[in-house]
């Protein structure tokens, strides 16, 4: 009901966010930490913060998310959280026996200025960290950045703490996926495998947040990159980062620390971006693209050809994370759809510049905002309606208010099940993404068609 009071008149706002198109850094850091085998994420702040981060991830992935918290009270808020964190580290290693504890900060611990490297060092000196066990950290204040930057910071922490070079270059290739579904990470690994590459993929949440139901609880599922793999990653021949904002920092850190050359690409969403990913793998492996991937590419081309008559000229409004929006916008433009309104809650002028480059030949004015919110997006839609919206679950209210079809894509998706099992990256993912887009459009066409236009075959 509140959204029905959204005005069409757009006013400049510099200090007010309404209905944000993002969430906070610690959620991204916690998600990345779950992609490390045997890892227990830890929220250095209040219980309420940790509960929110866990519940959001649990509701999105429909899997139980385990994490510890420093449980700040008034005393810790005033005098610092060192005693809480040292005690928490001791308790978690004693009771839950993780291989790694991945600590991320919150607004409260950042504001009071807790020095995590010093606290972790004290915990080790005091014998609270057992031999061959590890504690890593990432600084993730919620009042700066978004869940995307939190993910990037924790992925970079894996490099900072574990990557080592042994003086001999291996044939392994590091792949750092962006903030994507576990199914996307599995698909990225599969594509690399088709090219004859056994990658060191980190983080890797496949088989962690989309694992099988066995009837037995596993505190630490079998999936995730291992500490041994991360240690060896410093001697790999190259690093491929998929997503400039979410994966780029870890790849650059690997280059600086271990002199492993990095290739920073966009997420492999759609034909062109997947081609770029496959071509880089081809060069690194020194092989020809296998027939299996050629077939998948041809199938995607066939689907694009079959669907083009329905997709041409369709106007779309998109809300999501920068890396996903860049690749998705490129894909939509390539099939002659028209992205009219594009909003990300993550600030950054580079994002707006990239989008402008992608849509420069689109025969329509395109609105782009980095650091915007869904209130602004709603206002844009009121001024110029679109045929389809693409975004997370929170977009459903605007879609209902404006009676526009919605394709759920990105994070978080709280009201649907199964998205963590079906990739949208790679050639196969592109086929599924187009199928979902066309289903949404044709379902609406069926709903609105008069009897005379209600066709059996579209």
Q: Give the pLDDT score at 5.
A: 74
- Looking at the fold, whether 269 and 191 belong to one and the same domain comes out as yes
SS3 248: helix
Name the band, by pLDDT with cuts 50, 70 and 90, for residue 3: low
Q: Sheet holding 39-44: strands in order across?
A: 68-69, 39-44, 100-105, 134-138
What is the rounded CA–CA span in Å between residue 148 and residue 223? 22
Left if phi > 0, otherwise alpha if psi is -120 to 50, otherwise beta: which for 74? alpha
Are 107 and 184 in the same domain?
no
Same domain, residue pair 236 and 181: yes
Overall number of domains in the chain: 3
- Say if residue 122 is in the same domain as residue 195: no
pLDDT attached to residue 15? 82
Three-class HEC string of 32-75: HHCCECCEEEEEECCHHHHHHHHHHHHHHHCCCCCCEECCCCHH
pLDDT-based confidence at residue 76 (cuts at 50, 70, 90): confident
Does 41 lie in the same domain as 111? Answer: yes
Q: How confident is the model at residue 151 (pLDDT cuts 50, 70, 90)?
A: very high
Report pLDDT for 14: 80
Residue that terminates a domain, selected from 226, 256, 291: 291
Q: Map residue 246 onto helix, strand or coil.
A: coil
Which residue's entry shows tokens 């594509």?
191
Q: Is residue 424 included in any domain, yes or no?
A: yes
- Is residue 304 located within the same domain as residue 438? yes
Distance CA 240, CA 199 (A): 10
Q: What is the structure's pLDDT at 77? A: 77
CA distance 413 to 55: 13
Instruction: Single out the residue in 91, 125, 144 at which a domain terminates.
Output: 144
**pLDDT tens-digit map of 323-358:** 999 999 999 999 999 999 999 999 989 999 999 999
**pLDDT of 1 strictly over 70:** no
Find the mean pLDDT for residues 272-284.
Answer: 97
pLDDT band at 296 (very low <50, low <70, confident <90, very high): very high
How many Cα atoms within 13 Å fall on the side-chain side of residue 243?
26
Q: Are 274 and 334 within one domain? A: no
Structure confidence by residue, pLDDT tens digits, 405-457:
999 999 999 999 999 999 999 999 999 999 999 999 999 999 999 998 898 88
Longest dimension (CA), the chain: 79
The torsion defined by the Cα of 329, 331, 337 and 340, in degrees rounded to 10, comes to: 0
Clarify whether residues 270 and 189 are in a common domain. Answer: yes
Domain membership flag for residue 371 = yes
Is 159 among the domain residues?
no
Model confidence band, residue 167 (pLDDT cutoffs 50, 70, 90): confident
- Is residue 4's pLDDT more than 80? no
Reported as a single tens digit per residue, the pLDDT across 77-125 is: 777 889 999 999 999 999 999 999 999 999 989 999 999 999 999 999 9
**DSSP conformational letter for 413:** -
Is residue 283 located within the same domain as residue 302? no
Q: Which of the listed residues 144, 162, 196 is the one where a domain comes to its end?
A: 144
Length of the chain: 458
Vertex 137 angle, CA 133 and 139, to 5°: 175
Sorting pLDDT into bands at 50, 70 and 90, what band is 2?
low
- Residue 9 domain flag: no
Residue 455 lies in a domain: no
Residue of 100, 84, 99 lying closest to 50 (CA atoms): 84
Round to whole Å and give the CA distance between 405 and 130.
Answer: 54
CATH number for the domain including 316? 3.40.50.1980
Q: What domain range includes position 238?
A: 173-291
Do both 441 and 307 map to the same domain?
Answer: yes
Q: Are residues 310 and 435 in the same domain?
A: yes
Residue 79 and residue 66 in contact, taking contact as beta carbons nearer than 8 Å: no
pLDDT tens digits along 360-400: 999 999 999 999 999 999 999 999 999 999 999 999 999 99
Neighbour count for residue 384 (Cβ, 10 Å): 14
Determine contact, residues 421/183, Cβ cutoff 8 Å: yes
In a domain, 5, yes or no: no
Extract the tokens encoding 152: 């990037």
Q: pTM for the whole thing?
A: 0.96
C-alpha angle 194/199/205, rounded to 5°? 100
Residue 260 lies in a domain: yes
Lowest mean pLDDT among 5-9, 261-265, 301-305: 5-9
Same domain? For 140 and 243 the reply is no
In a domain, 235, yes or no: yes
């Amino acid at each position: 009901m509140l959204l029905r009071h959204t005005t069409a008149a757009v006013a400049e706002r510099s200090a007010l966010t309404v209905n944000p198109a993002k969430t906070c850094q610690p959620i991204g850091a916690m998600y990345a930490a779950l992609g490390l085998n045997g890892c227990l994420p830890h929220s250095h702040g209040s219980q309420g913060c940790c509960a929110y981060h866990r519940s959001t991830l649990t509701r999105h992935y429909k899997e139980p998310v385990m994490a510890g918290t420093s449980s700040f009270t008034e005393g810790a808020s005033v005098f610092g959280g060192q005693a809480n964190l040292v005690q928490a580290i001791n308790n978690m290693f004693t009771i839950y026996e993780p291989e790694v504890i991945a600590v991320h900060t919150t607004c409260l611990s950042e504001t009071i200025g807790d020095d995590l490297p010093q606290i972790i060092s004290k915990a080790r000196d005091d014998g609270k960290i057992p031999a061959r066990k590890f504690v890593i950290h990432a600084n993730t204040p919620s009042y700066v950045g978004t869940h995307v930057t939190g993910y990037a910071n924790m992925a970079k922490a894996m490099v900072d703490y574990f990557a080592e070079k042994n003086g001999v270059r291996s044939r392994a290739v590091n792949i750092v996926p962006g903030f994507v579904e576990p199914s996307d990470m599995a698909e990225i690994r599969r594509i690399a495998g088709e090219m004859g590459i056994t990658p060191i993929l980190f983080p890797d949440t496949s088989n962690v947040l989309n694992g099988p139901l066995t009837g037995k609880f596993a505190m630490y599922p079998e999936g995730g990159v291992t500490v041994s793999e991360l240690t060896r990653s410093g001697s790999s021949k190259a690093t491929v980062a998929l997503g400039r904002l979410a994966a780029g920092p870890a790849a650059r850190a690997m280059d600086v620390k271990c002199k492993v050359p990095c290739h920073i690409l966009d997420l492999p969403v759609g034909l062109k971006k997947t081609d770029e990913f496959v071509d880089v793998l081809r060069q690194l492996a020194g092989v020809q693209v296998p027939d299996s991937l050629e077939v998948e590419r041809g199938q995607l081309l066939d689907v694009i050809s079959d669907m083009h008559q329905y997709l041409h000229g369709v106007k779309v409004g998109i809300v999501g994370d920068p890396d996903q929006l860049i690749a998705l916008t490129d894909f939509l433009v390539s099939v002659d759809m028209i992205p009219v309104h594009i909003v990300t809650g993550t600030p950054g002028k580079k994002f707006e510049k990239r989008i402008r480059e992608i849509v420069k030949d689109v025969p329509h004015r395109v609105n782009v905002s980095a650091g915007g919110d869904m209130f602004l997006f709603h206002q844009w839609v009121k001024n110029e309606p679109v045929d389809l919206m693409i975004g997370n679950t929170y977009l459903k209210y605007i879609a209902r208010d404006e009676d526009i079809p919605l394709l759920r894509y990105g994070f978080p998706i709280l009201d649907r099940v199964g998205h963590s099992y079906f990739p949208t990256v790679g050639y196969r993912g592109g086929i599924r993404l187009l199928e979902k887009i066309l289903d949404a459009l044709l379902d609406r066409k069926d709903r609105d068609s008069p009897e005379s236009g209600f066709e059996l075959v579209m």
